[in-house]
Amino acid sequence: MLKIAPSILSADFAHLAQSVQKVEQAGAEYLHIDVMDGHFVPNITLGPLLVKALRPHSKMFFDVHLMIEQPERYIDDFVQAGADLICIHAEACTHLHRCVTQIKETGAKVGVALNPHTPLNVIQYILPLLDLVLLMTVNPGFGGQKFIPQVLPKIDELSRLIKQNGLTAEIEVDGGINAETAPLVARAGARVLVAGSAVFGAPDPAQAVHDIRRAAEQATAAIC
């Protein structure tokens, strides 16, 4: 079951609720919300206030990607604002297990993100606790970057690890995903595809959601 997660980073912030509703009507399952602090990544974006403002306008699953240092300081605020899942970066946490546990205790789903260069073994012993693993396919910080193909074997390896151990974590990918790269990541085992510029930068974002889904589904159908 593939899920499409438009990233609001590329959306029209002046008309955010309408932009979000457009992709929701097109069947996108997750709304990917990129939170950046100007420290962990060079860019600054949004905080819990915006998540709270958006929450009444959408029933989509709010997938909040915290690209921030010491994320433990803000977990409760984002959950209270309406996040369904909080994803933290392994590289940004000194005590990753403690942060994961903190998120689980709020009742929200929990994800851990890995930068393109970060090996999978940093999450080896906490994988059973995770609902989602986000493998970055660009270096985090900006939309519109080029997909890094060297991450494909990592997606494949994680997919096998999850299957072999009977685990349930979803594999999400983020960065440079469009109708051309979606088949590659879907074939490798990704099941949640984040797309920012390919959706909100397209003349018809709803059509872009359909195109990315169709491309990925055709690729996975060819394997089965």
Ligand X SMILES: O=C(CO)[C@@H](O)[C@H](O)COP(=O)(O)O
Size of the site for ligand X (CB under 6 A): 22
The answer to whether 183 contacts ligand X (rule: CB under 6 A) is: no
* 142, two tokens: 């900006």
Q: Is 60 exposed, middle or buried (0-12, 13-18, 19+ CB in 10 A)?
A: buried
Q: Contacting ligand X (CB under 6 A), which of 197, 208, 212, 216? A: 197
**Sites for ligand X among residues 123-142 (CB under 6 A):** 138, 140-142
Taking alpha carbons only, the member of 112, 133, 139, 147 closest to residue 42 is 139
Q: Is 95 annotated as a binding residue?
A: no
> Any catalytic annotation for residue 34?
yes
What is the rounded distance in angstroms from the CA atom of residue 209 to the CA atom of residue 5?
9
The answer to whether 70 contacts ligand X (rule: CB under 6 A) is: no
**Residue for token digits 């932009």?**
19
Instruction: Identify which range of 48-56, 82-90, 170-178, 208-216 contacts ligand X by CB under 6 A.
Output: 170-178
What is the rounded distance in angstroms from the CA atom of residue 136 to the CA atom of residue 31?
16
Would you list which residues are annotated within the binding site for substrate?
7, 65, 141-144, 174-176, 196-197
The residues that touch ligand X, with contacts defined as CB under 6 A, are 7, 9-10, 32, 34, 65, 138, 140-145, 174-177, 194-198
